[in-house]
Amino acid sequence: MKVRPAVVRAAAVAAVLAPFSMSVIAHAVGDTMSQAKTAERPALAFREYMLNLGRVPEGRPVPARFWFTNTGDAPLTILDFKPSCGCLTPQLDKRDFAPGEQGTFVVVADTAGTSLSEKSDETGNLDQVKQHFVDVRYDAGDGERFERVNIKFVLPARRVTVEPRSLLVYQFNDQPTDREIVVTDRRSPPITVTKVECLSGVVSVASEIADASDDPTRARLAITIPAPRQSLRTLVTIHTNDPDQPRIHVPIIVQVPENRPTPVSRTPLDLVPRNAARR
What whole-number distance in Å separates Cα of residue 111 and Cα of residue 56?
8
What whole-number distance in Å separates Cα of residue 46 and Cα of residue 230?
43
Please report the pLDDT score of residue 36 as a whole number: 45
What whole-number distance in Å separates Cα of residue 109 and Cα of residue 134?
11
Higher pLDDT, 215 or 47: 47
pLDDT exceeds cutoff 60 at 101: yes
Domain 44-155 class, CATH top level: mainly beta
pLDDT exceeds cutoff 90 at 66: yes
Confidence of residue 126 (pLDDT cuts 50, 70, 90): low
Please report the pLDDT score of residue 56 as a whole number: 86
Detail the DSSP E strand segments found in the chain.
44-46, 50-55, 61-70, 76-83, 88-91, 96-97, 102-110, 128-139, 144-155, 160-163, 167-170, 177-185, 193-198, 204-210, 217-225, 232-240, 247-255
The second-level CATH assignment, the architecture, of 160-255 is: Sandwich (2.60)
What whole-number distance in Å separates Cα of residue 198 and Cα of residue 240?
15
Angle CA 44–48–52, to nearest 5 = 140
User: Can you tell me the mean pLDDT for 163-179?
Assistant: 82
Rounded alpha-carbon distances, angstroms, from residue 184 to 34, 53, 211: 61, 27, 12
Residues whose CB is less than 8 angstroms from the CB of residue 253 and which lie 6 or more positions away in sequence, other chains included? 166, 167, 168, 169, 231, 232, 233
pLDDT exceeds cutoff 90 at 99: yes
Please report the pLDDT score of residue 7 as a whole number: 52
Is the backbone peptide bond immediately before 42 cis, with ω within 30 degrees of 0?
no
Confidence of residue 26 (pLDDT cuts 50, 70, 90): low
User: Can you tell me the mean pLDDT for 228-247?
Assistant: 83
Angle CA 200–201–203, to nearest 5 = 75
* pTM as predicted: 0.48
Higher pLDDT, 106 or 189: 106
pLDDT exceeds cutoff 90 at 201: no
4-18, 65-79, 113-127, 177-191: segment of lowest average pLDDT:
113-127
pLDDT exceeds cutoff 70 at 211: no
Is the backbone peptide bond immediately before 251 cis, with ω within 30 degrees of 0?
no
- Which of 64-78, 213-227, 246-260, 265-279 has maximum average pLDDT? 64-78
User: Which pLDDT tens digit goes with each residue over 251-277?
Assistant: 888 888 776 555 544 444 444 444 544
Please name which of 272, 203, 267, 274 lies closest in space to residue 233, comparing C-alpha atoms.
Answer: 203
Please report the pLDDT score of residue 231 as a whole number: 81
- Which of 88-97, 109-118, 157-166 has maximum average pLDDT? 88-97
Higher pLDDT, 174 or 239: 239
User: Can you tell me the mean pLDDT for 210-227?
Assistant: 67
pLDDT exceeds cutoff 60 at 120: no
Confidence of residue 247 (pLDDT cuts 50, 70, 90): confident
User: Which regions of the chain carry the CATH code 2.60.40.10?
Assistant: 44-155, 160-255
